[in-house]
Amino acid sequence: MKIPDRIVTAALAACCLLGLPAAAQAADLPPLSHSLTVLEPKTAPELKFKDLDGRMHDLAELRGKVVLINFWATWCPPCRREMPSMERLTQTLKGKPFVALAVDVGEDADTIETFISQLDTTLSFPILLDTRGHSMKAWKVAGLPTTFLVDKQGRIVASAIGGREFDHPEIVKTIRELLEN
Amino acid sequence: MRLPTLTLLAAWPFVVFATESSVDAETGLSTWQTDTQGVQVRLTQISPDQARAFYQARGFSPEAAERYASECVFMTVVRNVGDRPIEHRLADWRYLSAGQPPRSIRSKDEWEAIWIQANAAETARIAFTWAQFPTEQSFAPGDWNQGMTTYSVPRGGYFDLQFVWRTEDRTLSGKLEQVRCADENT
């Protein structure tokens, strides 16, 4: 029995509406890493965007806190896969001077909210909107996802390219050490 | 005793550079992967329908999405599985298919020119740019990334991909062999 092409196309369109094609979501997915690359501390570039509720977030106002900045997009499979671990990390460090910021690149609020509504996890950290990808050049981001760790002095001290399990003990340990400094 | 040792040594290069392939039972799409000298490269077929649907969902017209889907599209993953930093430039990669000289992968800039000429919306072009495999990147150990790459190969046609990277001032390369372009109805 041949399935009509229009049904196949509609099904594919639905599966591709948010994420990359099914091939990229098959069982044999590239594993998420748990390494952070320690960098020579350098002052973080400006980062100032509104979140989904229209509230402005400015990295410069977060001095005294350790900040995890994750550049992502809803269509990026590893970005989607690492998002729940960012929430678990946030819960693990609740009450500490730690903030996670997820900066969505190139998408509108409706697209992001559709994605969030499909997650099993409720995200408590802010999702910032860089609809035109303006921050990518200043932060030297070549691909998504890319993540930076900013210390209490506002300096980039570590980075990660590609999907991560953010609540992995090694990453939590690195952040705890920064929190104690 | 000597013969097995010699046999192993003779086989070693083929083990190191071997291309593994697998088929996803659910989608019928194939993946090719190789690990060599601390770098892992993986190509997974993206079917023409998937490419059309993905880009139409991001604001491309059916005609523009069709232009992209007419190429042979692969989800491309590069991972630093070694213990030294690496860097790569997509412009250094080449693919070889029957009867053709080695060709480079169409760059984001070349695609951008095509989309501007086709009057594609800026939001669609931004999404397109970030969905492609990065033009150049440096990976610390454990870093990895993925994105789409395209090849001008007929449906069902085969090609070899030679990928190139640098580490500690040395230029290294590896190869994925007999990669097959997805059929129209995969």
Would you list the domain boundaries of chain A?
33-180
Instruction: Supply the DSSP string of B123-164, one letter for each residue.
Output: HHHHHHHHHBPPSEEEE-TT-EEEEEEEE---TT-EEEEEEE
pLDDT given for residue B39 in this prediction: 96
Residue B103 lies in a domain: yes
Q: Please report, as a single letter, which amino acid is at residue A133.
A: G
**Does the beta carbon of A1 lie under 8 angstroms from any beta carbon of chain B?**
no
The domain defined by A33-180 carries CATH number 3.50.50.60:
no
Q: Which of B72, B88, B126, B129 to mutate to test the interface with A (most CBs of A within 10 A)?
A: B126
pLDDT given for residue B127 in this prediction: 87
Please tell me which of the candidates B44, B58, B142 has its beta carbon nearest to residue A33: B142
pLDDT reading at A6 higher than 60:
no
pLDDT given for residue A10 in this prediction: 39
**Does the beta carbon of A13 lie under 8 angstroms from any beta carbon of chain B?**
yes
Residues 6+ apart with CB under 8 A from A53: none
pLDDT given for residue A100 in this prediction: 98
pLDDT reading at A57 higher than 50:
yes
Structure tokens at A145: 């996802």
Q: A56: which strand partners?
A: A50
Q: Which residue in A37, A52, A170, A62 sits closest to A102, CA to CA?
A: A52
Mean pLDDT by runs of 10 across the 186 residues of chain B is 38 57 90 96 96 93 96 96 96 95 95 95 89 94 95 96 96 97 88
Cβ–Cβ under 8 Å, residues A123 and A116: yes
Phi-psi label, residue B12: left if phi above 0, alpha if psi -120 to 50, beta otherwise: alpha
- Integer Rg of chain B from CA: 18
> How many domains does chain B divide into?
1
- The fraction of chain A above a pLDDT of 70, given in percent, is 84
Structural domain span for residue B50: 19-180
pLDDT given for residue A28 in this prediction: 60
CA B31 to each of CA A5, B28, B47, B63: distance values in angstroms, whole numbers, following the listed order? 24, 10, 12, 28
pLDDT in tens, A10-45: 333 334 434 454 444 444 667 888 899 999 999 999
- How many residue pairs from chains A and B have C-beta atoms closer than 8 A? 130
The structure's pTM equals 0.83
- More confident position, A16 or A141: A141
Least confident piece of the model among A106-110, A165-169, B12-16, B177-181: B12-16
**CATH label of the domain that carries residue B58:** 2.60.40
Q: A155: which strand partners?
A: A43
Minimal-distance CA residue of chain A relative to B21:
A28
Q: Strand, coil or helix: what is B12?
A: helix
Residue B10 lies in a domain: no
